[in-house]
Amino acid sequence: MPEAGAPLPEAPPSALRSRVVQGKVLRLMALATGLAVLALAHLSSLPWLAHGLALLLLALIYVGWRPALRREEGRLSEAARVLRPDAEFKLSTVLDALGAPTILTDRRGHIVHANAAALKAFPGLKQGHPVTFFIRAPAMLSGLEAVLGNDSEVRFELLDHIPVERSYDVLIRRLGGAPEVGHLAIGTAFAVIFMTETSAAKRIEAMRVDFVANASHELRTPLASILGFVETLQGPARDDATARRTFLGIMETQARRMARLIDDLLSLSKIEMSAHITPSAEIDLVAALRSVVDTLGGLAQDRAVALKLTLPEARSLVAGDRDELLRVFENLIENGIKYGQSGGVVEIGLTPVEDAVIGPALAITVRDFGPGIAAKHLPRLTERFYRADVSESRVMGGTGLGLSIVKHIVTRHRGRLGIASIPGDGATFTVTLPALTPK
Amino acid sequence: MTQHIVRTFDEELGLLSSKINQMGGIAEAMMVDALDALSKHDVSKARGVIERDAQLDALQHDIEELAVLVIARRQPMANDLRQIMGTIRIASDLERIGDLVKNIGKRVTVMEERFLSMRSLSGIQHMAHLVLGQVKTVVDSFAQNNAELARHVWLHDGEVDTLNNSLFRELLTYMMEDPRSITFATHLLFIAKNIERAGDHATNIAETVYFIETGQQLSGPRPKGDTAPYSLSAKDV
């Protein structure tokens, strides 16, 4: 008989269970035989002695078998205790410590446990629901079907596009000791889905292609203009001092534009590279906004624009990347100053909101009172190199990438960028970021 | 979902939901592939998209058959009936999305590559990404029984419409500048229209999901195309 705290019994629980069942059946059969003997003795009117013997037999069978059964049953419940709650608790703790998204499913493909990394990568995952309700890619569906059917292991590539492009190498494997499908209770771990993220490698490739395409297209214009002026300076305008001064001035502007463009392209690529990683540092938006407004004070004064800041007293925390968020506010406020100059004032506000999709969030609004933006441009402002007014953008020294950078940073922070404008009445840019509740 | 006395009834309802999810997954993947095929002019990928539409048709057929069986056998009432009728409607919307995406695939196979310019495609891609987000979010809202999420999708359809208008103007300009691009630009116009229609079906699904969950019709003012605040988010793009 196993003592309390004894090591795992040698027989697996399923074998123990069948032994208990066997014991019960045998006992029933013996009882039936005893009863039959009794009835026979009674019918054939044998002496009372036979009755007594049969009764004695029955009693013996009943008393003798009970402890044996009890013993088996005890071992069974002991085995169940060792394998079930404790083991599962330890398993989930270990799984949570893994860096790679890992999901345990039962034999129907419903989630038994999704580890912390999996919840971070796919926030919807809920225990007890089918995995395919949350990760719907056909590859996942067919892979899971194969393992729940006959295969012991399946590997495939999973591509996810919303909210950001991500790719995973996925391995689904039937758990080592998992018995035949039919015998396993619903809700018991049957297979494990293990994902290795491969987004970074894919991104490097995509970035290279994009960079070459964008850069060559956009750099050609200023370069052509510089070359044109160089030729003029070498030829007809060789000895014309005034023309030389003007041309060199234009060439400088163009060269600076190219430099800015390259800077913007590089930072855009950098942000895109890390788009699949959600930033996690604790950032106080109140302090961040103040510091941006301080930096842009000079520019605002030059252009006779007043910056009106309305901030809450308390710290307003989000999980983010400080440099990137500063860049967002800088771009938006600078745009407000430049394009909303005629309005004379740019209002900057920060309010806590409850968002249907994001949940508790902080909304940062930058409102200018300039000419506003026509509706047809609104949805396209964040496209790379899209300009509402090409000539004005050039005059302002824009590269056509500012809002694209803003959008990418906000998306990376799992937030939202909203742009609303009524022509003639200025524009409002709203950045909504998931709020961080202070610990 | 509350449990029923007959467990197989629950199982049948679960099967219906999981088939909708399967359709959603296929529709999303088809859309991604179609756009990829368009931007890289990958004709074999486009053919793959066209072939995959048959899977959606088959699934829709399965769903309708199963739904009719369940109605006949279980005589469902109230929210069960809403759930089943809703499933049929969502299946047909998803099937329509599949058809529209298949059409994009067909156009890619006949388009001339030489007019493929980065600029006009970026608008289409932007719009497709937006609609893909709508489709994904609305199928999520169905899987998670989340009426609020469905409402969110319903509210944000205006963005797609505005984008479509803007693309129309842009493509028109290209056609006027260079008549040789007319064939190509017309294909792109139809592709944009298809994407926009797919977005409309996503809104229809949102209405159905909202009805399943609450028993109410989604109503009230909805920001329409031209005045809609434009927004982009991690979750709804």
Residues B18, A376: C-beta atoms closer than 8 Å = no
What HEC string does chain A produce?
Answer: CCCCCCCCCCCCHHHHHHHHHHHHHHHHHHHHHHHHHHHHHHHCCCCHHHHHHHHHHHHHHHHHHHHHHHHHHHHHHHHHHHHHHHHHHHHHHHHHHCCCCEEEECCCCEEEEECHHHHHHCCCCCCCCEHHHCCCCHHHHHHHHHHHHCCCEEEEEEEECCCCCEEEEEEEEECCCCCCHHHCCCCCCCEEEEEEECHHHHHHHHHHHHHHHHHHHHHHHHHHHHHHHHHHHHCCCCCCHHHHHHHHHHHHHHHHHHHHHHHHHHHHHHHHHCCCCCCCEEEEHHHHHHHHHHHHHHHHHHCCCEEEEECCCCCCEEEECHHHHHHHHHHHHHHHHHHCHHHCEEEEEEEEEEECCCEEEEEEEEEECCCCCCCCCHHHCCCCCCCCCHHHHHHHCCCCCHHHHHHHHHHHCCCEEEEEECCCCCEEEEEEEEECCCC
Among residues A187, A186, A107, which one has the least CA distance to residue A149? A107
Residues A411, B166: C-beta atoms closer than 8 Å = no
Distance CA A332, CA A335 (A): 5
- The burial of A211, by beta-carbon neighbours within 10 Å (0-12 exposed, 13-18 middle, 19 or more buried), is given as middle
Tokens (6 digits) for A9: 């019994």
Q: Which of residues 347-366 of A touch B (CB under 8 A)?
A: 356-358
% of chain B beyond a pLDDT of 90: 41
Residues A380, B123: C-beta atoms closer than 8 Å = yes
Res B62: pLDDT: 92
Question: Looking at the domain that runs over B7-227, which CATH code has it been given?
Answer: 1.20.58.220
Distance CA A59, CA B139 (A): 66
Q: What are the distances in angstroms from CA B211 to CA A438, B21, B202?
A: 37, 18, 14
B chain contacts of residue A133, beta-carbon cutoff 8 Å: 17-18, 21, 143-144
Is 60 exceeded by the pLDDT of residue B92? yes
Q: Quote the Cα angle for A246-A249-A255, to 5°.
A: 140
**Residue at A362: amino acid letter:** L
Q: A133: alpha, beta or left, given left = phi > 0 and alpha = psi -120 to 50? A: alpha
Fold of A199-276: Helix Hairpins (1.10.287)
Superfamily classification of domain A278-439: Histidine kinase-like ATPase, C-terminal domain (3.30.565.10)
Q: Tens digits of per-residue pLDDT, B118-138? A: 567 888 888 998 899 999 999
Q: Which residue has the tokens 């067909």?
A: B106
Coil, strand or helix at B230: strand
Q: Tens digits of per-residue pLDDT, B96-114? A: 999 999 999 999 888 876 6
Residues A138, B25: C-beta atoms closer than 8 Å = yes
Distance CA A195, CA A135 (A): 12
| Cα-Cα-Cα-Cα dihedral sign, residues A287, A293, A297, A299 | positive
Domain coordinates in residue numbering, chain A:
13-84, 98-197, 199-276, 278-439
Say whether residue B152 is in contact with chain A using an 8 A CB cutoff: yes
| Tens digits of pLDDT across chain A (439 residues) | 334 444 444 445 556 566 667 767 777 787 787 778 777 777 776 667 777 777 777 777 777 666 666 776 666 555 555 455 555 557 778 888 888 899 998 888 889 889 888 988 888 788 888 888 888 888 888 888 888 888 888 898 888 877 778 889 999 988 875 555 556 677 778 889 999 988 877 777 777 777 777 677 778 878 888 888 888 888 888 888 888 888 888 888 888 888 888 888 888 888 877 777 778 888 899 989 998 988 888 888 888 888 888 888 888 888 888 888 998 999 999 888 888 878 889 999 999 888 877 788 899 999 998 888 887 788 778 877 777 776 677 666 677 788 888 988 998 888 889 888 888 888 999 999 998 875 4
Residues A379, B25: C-beta atoms closer than 8 Å = no
- Asked, colleague to colleague, whether A199-276 and A278-439 share their fold, the answer is no
Res B229: pLDDT: 43
Q: What is the domain class of A98-197 according to CATH?
A: alpha beta
Distance CA B79, CA A9 (A): 50
Say whether residue B214 is in contact with chain A using an 8 A CB cutoff: no
What HEC string does B12-65 produce?
Answer: HHHHHHHHHHHHHHHHHHHHHHHHHHHHHCCHHHHHHHHHHHHHHHHHHHHHHH
Q: Are the beta carbons of A338 and B128 closer than 8 angstroms?
A: no
Is 70 exceeded by the pLDDT of residue B50? yes
| Alpha-carbon torsion angle B211, B216, B217, B223, nearest 10 | -100
Of residues B122, B151, B232, nearest to A384 (C-beta): B122
Say whether residue A211 is in contact with chain B using an 8 A CB cutoff: no
Distance CA A410, CA A407 (A): 5
**Which residue of A111, A127, A129, A133 is the best one to mutate when testing the B interface, meaning the one whose CB has the most B CBs within 10 A?**
A133
Q: Chains A, B: CB contacts under 8 A, how many?
A: 131
Biggest CA-to-CA distance, chain B:
69
| pLDDT average, residue stretch B10-31 | 90
Say whether residue A134 is in contact with chain B using an 8 A CB cutoff: yes
Structure ipTM: 0.74
Q: Tens digits of per-residue pLDDT, B163-219? A: 888 888 888 888 888 888 888 888 889 999 999 999 999 999 999 999 998 888 887
Among residues A318, A322, A406, which one has the least CA distance to residue A360? A318
Is 80 exceeded by the pLDDT of residue B232? no
Q: What are the distances in angstroms from CA A158 to CA A377, B208, B234?
A: 35, 29, 19
Distance CA A284, CA A126 (A): 31
- Is residue B31 very low, low, confident or very high in pLDDT (cuts 50, 70, 90)? very high
- DSSP element (H, E) containing B149: helix B147-155
Residues A386, B122: C-beta atoms closer than 8 Å = yes
Res B110: pLDDT: 87
Res B222: pLDDT: 66
Q: How far is CA B19 from the centre of its chain?
A: 16
- The burial of A127, by beta-carbon neighbours within 10 Å (0-12 exposed, 13-18 middle, 19 or more buried), is given as exposed
% of chain B beyond a pLDDT of 70: 87
Q: Nearest CA of chain B to the CA of A186: how many Å?
A: 13
Domain coordinates in residue numbering, chain B:
7-227
User: Which residues sit opposite A317 in a β-bridge?
Assistant: A284
B chain contacts of residue A214, beta-carbon cutoff 8 Å: 118
